[in-house]
Amino acid sequence: MLGNFDFDVIVRSWGYLFQTGMLFTLKLTVLAMAGGIVMGTLLALMRLSGNRAVSLFATGYVNLVRAVPLVLVIFWFYFLVPYIAAWIIGSPAPVQVGAFPSALITFILFEAAYYCEIMRSGIQSIPRGQVWAGRALGMNYWQTMANVVLPQAFRNMIPVLLTQTIVLFQDVSLVYVLSIPDFVGAAGKVAQRDGRLVEMYTFVAVVYFALCYGLSFLVRRLQQRVAIIR
């Protein structure tokens, strides 16, 4: 089998795979992570809010998103949102959102539900005495959260947040269904062009394994250090 394995096709496509495909994957991962953490933190605060309506809204959103397959959300947003946006603004033609903005917004909305649960557990892990201390110093709810609770929660949740980001990095490959040239999409184009599906997809699997395993190892080391600090 290895005798027919064409390593040269990988060498010839190296620049395109990493400069176009992997760069797109990393860009989408970083932006979706940042947006997801911000929105997830807001959702977590809403879920913990004493306002029942706000809490129910956030809970419903999180449960709904976590119950729907990501690939379905990608298709839904990419194909339906242009028509919904046109209906809202009264445009006769669908609003052109674009592949990258569609993918970015989809991943932010989807990952926010998962980051929300991570942040909620992190906030709840902070002793209530910390909150009471902040209130005793004259801080209101939002000041206490911003200056006392959230910094400690973020420190405690860094390993879990990074683990979820590794999952996000893997999930980004689903944009392949929209013919977007992420790392998997770029490899797919080369595979179809040269008729070397085995070589290209094997290479993709090896790269993903090496990156995700290496990042997971670093997260475990970080988790040990955080545990020592505690």
Apex CA 176: angle with CA 74 and CA 65, to 5°? 25
Apex CA 204: angle with CA 200 and CA 205, to 5°? 120
Q: How far is CA 104 from the centre of its chain?
A: 9
Within the chain, residue ranges assigned H as helices are 7-16, 23-47, 52-66, 70-89, 99-124, 128-136, 141-144, 150-171, 183-194, 197-229
Q: How far is CA 48 from the centre of its chain?
A: 22
Q: Is the dihedral of CA 202, 204, 205, 211 positive or negative?
A: positive
In the block, tokens 């699997």 appear at 205
User: For domain 16-183, which CATH number applies: 3.20.20.140, 1.10.1740.10, 3.10.110.10, 1.10.3720.10?
Assistant: 1.10.3720.10
Q: What per-residue confidence (pLDDT) applies to 213?
A: 93
Q: What per-residue confidence (pLDDT) applies to 2?
A: 56
Question: Considering the entire predicted model, what is its pTM?
Answer: 0.85
Q: What is the mean pLDDT of each run of 10 residues along the chain (230 residues)?
A: 70 86 94 94 89 93 92 85 80 80 90 92 81 79 80 83 92 87 88 83 92 91 68
Residue ranges per domain, the chain?
A: 16-183
Q: What per-residue confidence (pLDDT) applies to 227?
A: 61
Cβ-count burial of 46 within 10 angstroms (0-12 exposed, 13-18 middle, 19+ buried)?
Answer: buried
Give, to the nearest 10 degrees, the angle between helix 7-16 and helix 183-194: 130
